[in-house]
Amino acid sequence: MMADNPIGQAVIWLNDPLNWTNPGGVLDRLGEHLWISGAAVVLGCLVAWPIGMWLGHAGRGGGAVVLISNLTLAIPTVALLTILPLTFLGFGKPPVIVALAVFAVPPLLANAYTGVRSIDPEARDAARGMGLSGWQVLGRVELPLAVPYLAAGFRTASVQVVATAALASFVNGGGLGQIISAGFGLGTAVAGGQILAGGILVALLAILVEAVLAVVERAVTPKPLRKARGRAARRAAAATGSA
Amino acid sequence: MSFRLALQESPGNPWISWQYVRDNSDTILAALREHATLTAEAMLVATLVAVPLAVIAYWYRPLTGPILALSGVLYTIPSLALLAFVAPYTGTTKPRTVLIGLVLYALLLIVRNSLAGLNQVPPEARDAAQGMGYGRWGRLFRIDLPLALPGIVTGLRLATVSTVALVTVGSLIGQGGLGDLILGGFRNNFYKAEIMTGAVLCVGLALVLDLLLATAGRLLTPWSRRIAR
């Protein structure tokens, strides 16, 4: 029968409308998940983009950027999620948002830095030659040219935050992970289907965010850059083909 | 200064307490051992799967895309979801439930870096090996893999550090090594010393293992140092 295995149970769980519309059901949790993740990514952008772009503009701090990303890799998410509520941030959503933002910073920072660093020095020189000040160079030349990198960092950070937000349920922070945690609380024998269903929902959301932001990344990359890249790739393919 | 003030504010529940460490040294050491064992097992299995995958991708170019894409999708799936996929089948009482998730997560980092290392093998070295009569396997073990070691070690280091951090997710089912201390402290009326001890040991373990692997990599590739000089 269908209800004998966890997959069948998960299908049954997902097909029960009450599991979606009840208080604390899928729709509630999805809303929490998106709100926590969105706030964390915005907070991360507000911190990381100005710093990364300024470091790239000044041409310093590349070592610090690498060091920060390596250090955050070693910090367990669970540790930050449990430590921050016990500080002045208090319980509830704020510590969860801050914890997730910490993990959003490295990709945002690294891409902002690389984006500004990798701009053709001639474009910068030309802007300076036209009499633009440092701030004007940053705002009118470097920022627009770095947008594809900023978008790539935004995509990486967002997917990571949406995935990590599932762990907020460890400290009762809400989100779709809550469905999985509650299932484990009941035990795999009783709630195997619910656990699996929660896992499917979280994984689908992460993949969906990845796909949507890939389209956004393409859309905000200026057409000339996109075309040039495609043409160069085609030319390279043709060259190797004829050789 | 503010740190000392914070300590004085809550004398009953400090962040750092040697008293706690002394009284619970057995529990802490057991958690540390479990954490290190899980990490070592996960890295061993992941290496045994990922390096051959990288070699396959290196030998058969058309397979490079699919292999990288598959490990990329596995990497995108949230760790908690992986745990949820595996747990209904393996139960929550065995460490292998956590182990499967850890291995799947480590794959991408090792495959990508090993492949990058293999692709950096100089064509001259490969031609010379071929001219000396090495077969495909002889060339792999005596030329390609040794020369790709720096890339492989980079992958192992990144994967090890992220695996150490990821083990803590297993604490949801009580199989999280030091994560059990962190989450246990949180649930045990916010016992700050327990949380902090677990967190500090976790970061420390990651840094120590990273250093060990970096040293091993340097010892195994003495030629790369000579070139650097």
What integer pLDDT is reported at residue A36 of this predicted model? 92
What integer pLDDT is reported at residue B39 of this predicted model? 93
Which DSSP string corresponds to B42-102?
HHHHHHHHHHHHHHHHHHSGGGHHHHHHHHHHHHHS-HHHHHHHHHHHH-SSSTHHHHHHH
Which DSSP string corresponds to B139-183?
HIIIIIHHHHHHHHHHHHHHHHHHHHHHHGGGGGGT--THHHHHH
Q: Please state, in angstroms and rounded to a whole number, the distance separating the CA atoms of residues B53 and A174.
A: 38
Q: Which domain holds residue A87?
A: 2-237
pLDDT tens digit sequence for A92-121: 788 899 999 998 999 999 899 988 888 888
Does the predicted model carry a pTM greater than 0.80?
yes
**What CATH number is attached to the domain comprising A176?**
1.10.3720.10
Count: domains in chain A:
1
Mean pLDDT score, A198-204? 89
Q: In chain B, what is the greatest distance between 2 CA atoms, to the nearest angstrom?
A: 74
Domains of chain B: 16-221 (1.10.3720.10)
Q: Please state, in angstroms and rounded to a whole number, the distance separating the CA atoms of residues B31 and B175.
A: 9
Report if residue A114 sits inside a domain.
yes
Contacts of B176 in chain A (CB under 8 A): 78
- Residue found by looking up tokens 């760790």 in the block: B79
Contacts of A83 in chain B (CB under 8 A): 195-196, 199
**With contact defined as beta carbons under 8 Å apart, do A185 and A194 qualify?**
no
What integer pLDDT is reported at residue A238 of this predicted model? 35
Report if residue A70 sits inside a domain.
yes
Q: Any idea what the Cα angle at residue A232 is, between residues A228 and A237, rounded to 5°? A: 150
pLDDT tens digit sequence for B51-104: 999 999 999 989 988 888 888 888 888 888 888 888 878 877 777 888 988 998
Which positions 99-128 of A are in contact with B (Cβ < 8 Å)? none
**With contact defined as beta carbons under 8 Å apart, do B183 and A78 qualify?**
yes
- Nearest CB to B80: which of A167, A187, A210? A167
In this prediction, residue A3 has a pLDDT band, given cuts at 50, 70 and 90, of low
Report if residue A97 sits inside a domain.
yes
Which positions 144-173 of A are in contact with B (Cβ < 8 Å)? 159, 162-164, 166-167, 169-171
